Amino acid sequence: MNRKLNALVVGTLVLSITACLFAGCGKKGRETDTAADTTAANTATADTAAATGVEEEAGKPFRAEEAFSVSMLFNDMPNYPLKDTWTVFDEIRKKTNVKLELTVVPSSDYEQKRSLLISTGDAPLIIPKTYPGSEVQFIPSGAILAVSDYVNLMPNYQKKVKDWNLQSDLKQIMQADGKYYVLPGLHEKPKYDYSLLVRKDILDKEGLEAPASWDEVYDVLKALKAKYPDIYPFSDRWKTDAITNVAAPTFGVSAGWGAGNGLRYDSGSDKFLFYPITEDYKNFLAYWNRLVKEGLMDPESFTQSDDQAKQKFINGKSFMISSNTQETLDIQNTMEKNLGKGKFELFHMPTPAGPKGNVVYSSRLENGIMISSKAKKDPHFEDIIRFVDWLWYSDEGQELTKWGVEGITFKKDSSGKRTLMPDITFNGMNPTGTKDLRKDFGYGSGVFVYGGSQELKMSMMNDLEISLQNSMADKEILPQAPPILFNEEQREQFNMKDTPLMDYVKAQTLKFMLGTEPLSNWDKFVAECKAKGADAIVDQANQIYVKTKDKLK
């Protein structure tokens, strides 16, 4: 080959490869909003929004004057994957003149991809399915909008906050600068879901009543063990995190999924304390230890897989398990296939009362929406905010995303009761239908359906869910703790001490419950917690709380 040509070809290749080495060096960072920007942009907060105009604008349909499209992150759940037969996006576009451009993310790794996209500045403008608390990591970089600054553009959202008295609940998501960064799903009333599932037919057979308190749970289990000594009457799933989370508030503490950072608010003294070292927590641990010691609770509950626990219950090797309403229906269906209908009866109990009373802890805020800071640069910015308000918070928008289109997917009778069209099935309604509301049409999906009025929520509940809500209606709802408004530096300091401390608490909790560590070593445990900084974090938390209390007014 011609030497010159050869050299030219090789030289070009070398240059282009070297150039690629520098591809990664680009413009430094993305547009980061400084504090000055956000305050300058729009100063109205929810509290000072002009009252006039709020009432009349809520409930009005939204239609953009000029058609535009906005990008949105879409969580693709495998049980109802995104399909081209879905009509939900077309219907939204018909009503609002807004096209949603989806970035599809498999739900198995939704959080990771979301973090990646936000960190690299590629995030879509609307980021739904964000649990309050998970937006905190994105605040310091300025990648997400302080949405509380813009709620004056959201009449439907504001109306729901006002009607359902959610102002104090919203304080839960407030940050150190007095703003909040996620638009939470709003519930008129808390939804109850996790509780104990018990074999009612076995209880009836042994002449036992369904327990209403944790002491009664102990009695029932003891009676069952006497009659069935070869099995553990209670074998739990979710590594007991679900049931301890439900039980803990009735003992005055937190545990399981709700263990959190170890702080608990005492309204009497208006202070935070570290609950794992309190007497209440010792009693709580003693209760579970007693269940395990006397052979009433399967020690494998703390470690076995959900499938193993479910199998034991389905095969009659246990009579009590924790469950949520969907899982209960699932178990019911499986047992009907295995044992036959009528051969058994299940009861999804209201959560038992405890030493602190017939109380329950539940938040009325659920997962919601973040808006990327880049949205501010979009010429349709205000319309985007109004669109989000309509789609997720107006009655009309919520009905559309939950039920679909009247006349096509559902019909309404004169009293306002909604029923699905005969061929469409969902959540146990119209079991013979060939089309599924969610799988085939895309309505009722977890990307749009958050919260809502009690009426709307119950309209789609099956009998089991409805009876559970009703049976728990007279429980006393514990008040929410006020938030501690950490700034970024304080939060980092706090976490540095708190994370290893809570790891120790969780490990010891397991040991105490199982009995591998006797409760007589309680004082050692308390001392060790203090050595690991329990007092220090309580002091820090209280200091910050006292200093920032005024912001919460």
Partner 1 sequence: MIKVSKSYRVFQVFNVIIMVSVVVLTFYPFLYLVAQSFSDESFVYAGKVTFYPKGFTTETYKEVMGEKFFWIGYKNTVVYTVVATAISLFMTTIFAYALSKKRLKGRTFLLGFTVFTMFFNGGIIPNYLIVRTLGMRNTIWAMVIPGAISTWNLMIMKTFFESMPAELEEAASVDGLSTYGILAKIVLPLSKPIMATMALFYAVGNWNSWFGAFLYLDDKELFPVTLYLRNIIAGAQQTDAASGMDTDKSTQIAATIKSASMVLTALPILCVYPFVQKYFVTGVMLGSVKS
Q: Which residues bind partner 1 (CB under 8 A)?
A: 1, 20, 23-24, 26, 76-83, 103-104, 106-109, 112-113, 116, 119-120, 122, 131-133, 185, 187, 190-191, 193-194, 238, 241-242, 245, 256-258, 260, 307, 310-311, 314-315, 324, 326-327, 329-330, 334, 337-338, 362-363, 366-367, 427, 438, 444-446, 449-451
Kindly state the smallest distance separating residue 426's Cβ from partner 1, in Å.
10
Nearer of residues 276 and 451 to partner 1, judged by Cβ: 451
In sequence order, what DSSP letters do the residues of 270-312 get, joined into one string? Answer: TEEEEGGGSHHHHHHHHHHHHHHHTTSB-GGGGTS-HHHHHHH
Kindly state the smallest distance separating residue 334's Cβ from partner 1, in Å.
5
Euclidean distance between CA atoms 105 and 91, whole angstroms: 22
In sequence order, what DSSP letters do the residues of 468-484 get, joined into one string? Answer: HHHHTTTSEEPPPPPPP
Torsion, Cα 520 522 523 525, to 10 degrees, reads: 140
The pair of structure tokens assigned to 407 is 């006349």
Euclidean distance between CA atoms 371 and 451, whole angstroms: 19
Counted residue by residue, the chain has a size of 553
Kindly state the smallest distance separating residue 528's Cβ from partner 1, in Å.
26
Nearer of residues 312 and 532 to partner 1, judged by Cβ: 312
Residue 243's nearest CA partner among 309, 177, 175, 167 is 309
Euclidean distance between CA atoms 207 and 160, whole angstroms: 47
Euclidean distance between CA atoms 372 and 182, whole angstroms: 10
The burial class, CB within 10 Å (0-12 / 13-18 / 19+), for 230 is exposed
Kindly state the smallest distance separating residue 388's Cβ from partner 1, in Å.
19
Nearer of residues 151 and 309 to partner 1, judged by Cβ: 309
Kindly state the smallest distance separating residue 493's Cβ from partner 1, in Å.
24
Nearer of residues 111 and 528 to partner 1, judged by Cβ: 111
Euclidean distance between CA atoms 418 and 543, whole angstroms: 52
Kindly state the smallest distance separating residue 126's Cβ from partner 1, in Å.
15
Euclidean distance between CA atoms 384 and 386, whole angstroms: 5
Cβ partners under 8 Å of residue 212, min gap 6: 350, 352, 353
Strand (E) or helix (H) holding 367: strand 365-371
Nearer of residues 20 and 51 to partner 1, judged by Cβ: 20
Nearer of residues 329 and 513 to partner 1, judged by Cβ: 329
Kindly state the smallest distance separating residue 100's Cβ from partner 1, in Å.
14
Round the CA-based radius of gyration of the chain to a whole number and report it.
Answer: 27
Nearer of residues 48 and 79 to partner 1, judged by Cβ: 79
Kindly state the smallest distance separating residue 189's Cβ from partner 1, in Å.
11
Torsion, Cα 286 288 293 298, to 10 degrees, reads: -170
Nearer of residues 179 and 239 to partner 1, judged by Cβ: 239
Q: Report the phi/psi class of residue 133: left, alpha or beta, with left for phi > 0 and alpha for psi in -120 to 50.
A: left
Looking at residue 407, the DSSP 8-state letter turns out to be: T
Kindly state the smallest distance separating residue 366's Cβ from partner 1, in Å.
5
In sequence order, what DSSP letters do the residues of 311-346 get, joined into one string? Answer: HHHHTTS-SEEEE-HHHHHHHHHHHHHHH-TTS--E
Residue 322's nearest CA partner among 336, 303, 301 is 301
Kindly state the smallest distance separating residue 223's Cβ from partner 1, in Å.
27
Nearer of residues 289 and 409 to partner 1, judged by Cβ: 409
Nearer of residues 129 and 532 to partner 1, judged by Cβ: 129
Nearer of residues 63 and 435 to partner 1, judged by Cβ: 435
Kindly state the smallest distance separating residue 75's Cβ from partner 1, in Å.
9
Nearer of residues 97 and 495 to partner 1, judged by Cβ: 495
Kindly state the smallest distance separating residue 201's Cβ from partner 1, in Å.
18
Strand (E) or helix (H) holding 10: helix 3-21
